[in-house]
Amino acid sequence: MLERDNSLYVVDIFIACDKISRYTKRFNNAQDFLYSELEWDATIRELEIIGEATNSLLKSNAVDVKYRRIVDFRNQIIHGYFGVDENIVWDIVTKKLDLYLYDLRSLSINLSDAIELAKIENSKNKNILSLLNNLEKMSKENN
């Protein structure tokens, strides 16, 4: 199996977080969000992606071990351990993801090639292209 560059995982996480932000923006509480089937299911899927990408970053020591909790939560979602608590999901999507993104921005990983690849893969998705353009600008400012 080919090893994937860490920059691709970081971009995957940014895309997943952006999607979650768009999926959840119209909700004010965990219960309303839980009962909105499409947004709930889509968000859970993106949390799985974040957990999987984070697991790869942890294996290469690219992120702090404290983010193991993200992988553990992904495992709970995937395997249905004790169900998924909507209040925990709500807390994650409204508070914790922004903190994670902040930490990812401080990594010394060049994202330019990964952003370009993601632009090609998402060439017909204006929302993701907008995110990638913003991420590219931010990445250039930090270097």
Half-sphere exposure for 97 (CA within 13 Å, toward CB): 25
- Say what angle helices 6-24 and 126-142 make with each other, to 10 degrees: 130
Task: Choose the catalytic residue: 22, 69, 79, 105.
Answer: 79
Q: Is 74 a catalytic residue?
A: yes
Q: Is 79 a catalytic residue?
A: yes
For 12-73, the DSSP string reads HHHHHHHHHHHHHTT-SSHHHHHT-HHHHHHHHHHHHHHHHHHHHHHHTT-S-GGGHHHHHH
Task: Choose the catalytic residue: 22, 45, 74, 105.
Answer: 74
Q: Are 63 and 103 in contact (CB under 8 A)?
A: yes
List the catalytic residues: 74, 79
